[in-house]
């Protein structure tokens, strides 16, 4: 079970999907239905845009491209249907019959049957081919949902009205003032105090992680020499961290993520834990549904699995 590079470059033909979606009814164009969401669906070209790509902005969607002629396909279909039904709406399972919906199979660019692909925020994260024991499927799905599920919107609750937008937290003013003065540690302390009271305050965590990056960069000037030093010494965690910070500042966070994920697979013990923590910190600087973050989270889950 891997996260192949061919998916990172976009094997799914979104242009074709969108062209077909635009020709459908207005209700479909406005997004997935908010009620009566099935945990397992048959995927066709007519519902691919809404029930797979858009739905994957809410929860991960696991898609099986198979055929009734394959015992492995039929077993995977039965196992994933059961897993989805018992998942507490943590993921949706979609089945593509490659015999009757060959155009959908072609959209996914598959190379063999059966193929299973996990999708989040409209992008493939991980896949595998062939049959797998039910226990392995459960572990694989769990690693996906734990890695990216909390970063997605979640399925809608039609019984609860959307909350009104909250005003800006006045506690952030002191941290903002500290950042403007270049007092990064002071700003970090403010955010830490907020998180001590509210550990799940996403705004405070994102601001704190950004302040930490600014603090590190205040002592090390980012530049190509930092990246060159890390390339020349790929086992150095310290140099990799500096190069990752530089990549983020240069507007290429995906390069930072790739570097640290590669290091994650080459380290062990305390070093591995430190690399994982730094990855999570960098993820926190971006929107939770940023495709680059979701892709990297899927790769990190595969590296740790």
**pLDDT tens digit string along 80-116?**
999 999 999 999 999 999 999 998 998 888 888 999 9
Whole-angstrom Cα distance, residue 63 to residue 91?
11
182 vs 19, more confident: 182
Top-confidence residue, 203 or 4: 203
- pLDDT confidence of residue 17: 45
Q: Are residues 189 and 273 in the same domain?
A: yes
Residue 130 domain-assigned?
yes
Least confident piece of the model among 22-26, 152-156, 289-293: 22-26
Which of 151, 180, 207 lies at the terminal end of a domain, its last residue?
151
Average pLDDT of the segment spanning 182-193: 91
Q: Both 126 and 209 in a single domain?
A: no
Residue 135 forms part of a structural domain? yes
Same domain, 117 and 228: no
For position 220, what pLDDT does the model report? 66
End-to-end CA distance of the chain: 10
> Per-residue pLDDT averaged across 211-220, rounded?
79
Q: Please tell me the distance from the alpha carbon of residue 156 to that of residue 31, in angstroms, as a whole number.
A: 12
Where in 32-122 does DSSP place strands (E)? 40-42, 61-66, 92-97, 115-120
Q: 199 and 285 in one domain?
A: yes
Read off φ and ψ for residue 188, nearest 5 degrees: -60, -40
Same domain, 274 and 139: no
Residues 26 and 146 in one domain: yes
What b/e string do you get for 243-265 counting C-beta neighbours within 10 Å, with b at 16 or more?
bbbbbbeeeebbbbbbbbbebbe
Q: Is the pLDDT of residue 70 over 90?
A: yes
Q: Which whole number is the average pLDDT over 34-40?
A: 74
117 and 218 co-located in one domain: no
Domain boundary among 107, 122, 151: 151
Q: Poorest-confidence range of 70-74, 118-122, 162-166, 210-214?
A: 162-166
pLDDT value at residue 18:
43
* Residues 268-287: tens digit of each pLDDT: 999 999 999 999 889 888 87
Q: What is the pLDDT of residue 160?
A: 43
Q: Residue 222: pLDDT band by 50, 70, 90 thresholds?
A: low
Q: Is residue 158 part of a domain?
A: no
Domain membership of residue 160 (yes or no) is no
Mean pLDDT confidence for 220-239: 84
The CATH number of whichever domain residue 135 belongs to comes to: 3.40.30.10
| Contact between residue 303 and residue 147 where contact means Cβ atoms under 8 Å apart | no
| Spatial distance between the Cα atoms of 7 and 73, rounded to a whole number of angstroms | 22
How many CB atoms are closer than 10 A to CB 153?
Answer: 11
Question: How does residue 20 score in pLDDT terms, banded at 50, 70 and 90?
Answer: very low
User: Which of 30-34, 58-62, 137-141, 217-221 shows the lowest mean pLDDT across its residues?
Assistant: 30-34
Write down the pLDDT at residue 24: 41
In a domain, 162, yes or no: no
Q: According to the model, what pLDDT value does residue 221 have?
A: 58
Question: Which pair of tokens denotes residue 160?
Answer: 């609860």
| Total tally of structural domains belonging to the chain | 2
Q: What is the pLDDT of residue 69?
A: 95
| pLDDT given at position 166 | 54
Band of residue 36 on the pLDDT scale cut at 50, 70, 90: low
Structural domain harbouring 242: 172-304
Say whether both 9 and 137 belong to one domain.
Answer: yes
Q: Are residues 14 and 113 in the same domain?
A: yes
Global confidence as pTM:
0.49
For residue 157, pLDDT beyond 70: no
Tell me the mean pLDDT in the region 226-253: 89
| Res. 164 pLDDT band, cuts 50 70 90 | very low
Mean pLDDT of 157-172: 59
129 assigned to some structural domain = yes
What is the distance between the alpha carbons of residues 211 and 186, in angstroms, rounded to a whole number?
10
Q: List the structure tokens of 71.
A: 């015992």
Helix, strand, coil distribution of the chain in percent, nearest 5: 55, 10, 35
Average pLDDT over residues 244-266: 89
């Amino acid at each position: 079970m891997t996260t192949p590079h061919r998916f990172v470059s976009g094997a799914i033909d979104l242009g074709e999907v969108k062209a077909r979606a635009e020709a459908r009814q207005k209700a479909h164009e406005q997004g997935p239905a908010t009620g009566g969401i099935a945990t397992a669906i048959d995927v066709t070209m007519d519902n691919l845009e809404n029930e797979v790509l858009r739905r994957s902005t809410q929860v991960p969607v696991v898609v099986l491209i198979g055929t009734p002629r394959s015992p492995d396909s039929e077993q995977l279909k039965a196992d994933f249907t059961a897993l989805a039904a018992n998942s507490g709406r943590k993921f949706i399972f979609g089945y593509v019959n490659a015999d009757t919906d060959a155009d959908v199979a072609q959209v996914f660019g598959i190379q063999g049957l059966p193929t299973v692909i996990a999708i989040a925020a409209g992008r493939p994260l991980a896949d595998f081919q062939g049959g797998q024991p039910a226990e392995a499927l459960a572990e694989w799905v769990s690693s996906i949902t734990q890695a990216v599920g909390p970063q997605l919107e979640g399925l809608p609750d039609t019984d609860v009205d959307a909350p009104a937008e909250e005003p800006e937290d006045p506690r952030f003013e002191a941290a903002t003032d500290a950042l403007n003065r270049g007092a990064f540690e002071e700003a970090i302390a403010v955010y830490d105090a907020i998180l001590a009271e509210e550990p799940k305050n996403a705004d405070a965590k994102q601001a704190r992680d950004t302040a930490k990056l600014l603090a590190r960069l205040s002592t090390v000037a980012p530049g190509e020499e930092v990246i060159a030093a890390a390339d020349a010494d790929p086992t150095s965690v310290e140099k990799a961290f500096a190069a990752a910070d530089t990549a983020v500042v240069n507007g290429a966070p995906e390069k930072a993520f790739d570097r640290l994920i590669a290091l994650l697979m080459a380290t062990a013990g305390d070093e591995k834990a430190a690399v994982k923590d730094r990855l999570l910190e960098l993820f926190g600087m971006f929107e939770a549904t940023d495709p680059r973050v979701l892709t990297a989270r899927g790769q990190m889950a595969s590296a740790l699995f």
